[in-house]
Amino acid sequence: MKYSREFPSTRLRRTRVNKPIRDLVAENKLSSDDLIQPIFVKEGLTGTEPINSLPGISRFGLDSLNKEIESISSMGINGVAVFPVIDPAKKDENGTDSLNENNIVSQAIRQIKSNSDIAVIADVALDPYTSHGHDGVLDNNGYVDNDKSLPILAEQALVLAKAGADMIAPSDMMDGRVRFIREALENNSFFNTLILSYAAKYSSKFYGPFRDAVGSSANLGAGSKDTYQMSVSNIEEALQEVGLDIQEGADMVMVKPGMPYLDVVKAVKDEFKVPTFVYQVSGEYAMLKAAIENEWLAEDVMLEALLCFKRAGADCVLTYAAKEIATKINS
């Protein structure tokens, strides 16, 4: 039904008159249920180790992991994404340690699941494990070989599923990897293991602090991931990527990075109506943190940024600020 509204019978400022009223009519809200906390687990580390490029974030040794998981769970956060920081001596051309059932991330997953019911998301990609820092194996010309990488990624996914991961999250951007992973999971009776596909992952400059955190930046050096991650110019291609991944067996999809790609988040949610996650990546987080610490922006800018993801259509947000924001929301 069409209707017209006019001033002064209509004053839109009436619903903005105070905070209780503004909260009552808010179209979107953020809760701790919407947040996932990324965690870096470092091989051979005792205690914790701060990550200078990610203010307030640390790498954890296995001995300090349980306490951190308890802290995250106590805030009402239901999921963690676990990323490995392996011994550099174990890195090789083929990312062999990714297939080791006793590697650091598998140990971490088993430890988390034996002490908590929090959902664990495990990343599938070879870049933390390769000497060249790429997400797949290279051919003789230094090009990432899509088809030779697929069986390795599928085997890596099985290793993570066996360790107890609730969600397998392929972030490598190889064509066809979701189908390979889904078939491997089905053939090994992991019928209920979810696939959270990094379906629309862009070749962005916002990833620097993450690569520093997992120790892959030195391996990649001046190298580029432009031949497999998406061009920042494209949105129609993102919809094709998402559609293919859903068809191949993805249960939910990811858009990465986040804030500069809100148009992609909305387009994906509107088109496919599947659970849509978004990653507020390391560069976004670090940028806002630097502005807050220098008093260029107010602290609440982080909460504003995350709420914008929800408004765009995201069902869940991976953010390094999950604990910080959950504390604020719950207070």
* Residue 139: count of CB within 10 angstroms of its CB: 11
DSSP 8-state assignment for residue 183: H
Q: State phi, psi for 215 to the nearest 5 degrees.
A: 80, 25
Dihedral over alpha carbons 257, 34, 120, 330 (to 10 degrees): 120
- The 10 Å Cβ neighbour count of residue 232 is 14
Tokens encoding 141: 């010309």
Contact 81, 318 (CB under 8 A): yes
Give yes or no for a contact between 104 and 86, defined as CB atoms under 8 angstroms apart. Answer: yes
**Residue 172 has which token pair?**
């490598």
| The residue count for the chain | 331
The span from the CA of 218 to the CA of 91, in Å, is: 12
Rounded to an integer, what is the distance from CA 243 to the centroid of its chain?
Answer: 19
The residues with which 162 forms a beta bridge, in sequence order, are none
Sequence letter at residue 211:
R
Cite the DSSP H helix spans in 123-261: 146-163, 177-187, 208-214, 217-220, 236-248
CA–CA dist 54, 272 (Å, integer):
33
**Cβ–Cβ under 8 Å, residues 118 and 78:** yes
Q: Distance between CA 316 and CA 227 in Å, rounded?
A: 28
Distance CA 233, CA 243 (A): 19
Task: Give the residue numbers marked as catalytic.
Answer: 201, 256
Distance, in Å, from the CA atom of 112 to the CA atom of 292, rounded to the nearest integer, reads: 32
Q: Which two tokens stand for residue 134?
A: 């790429």
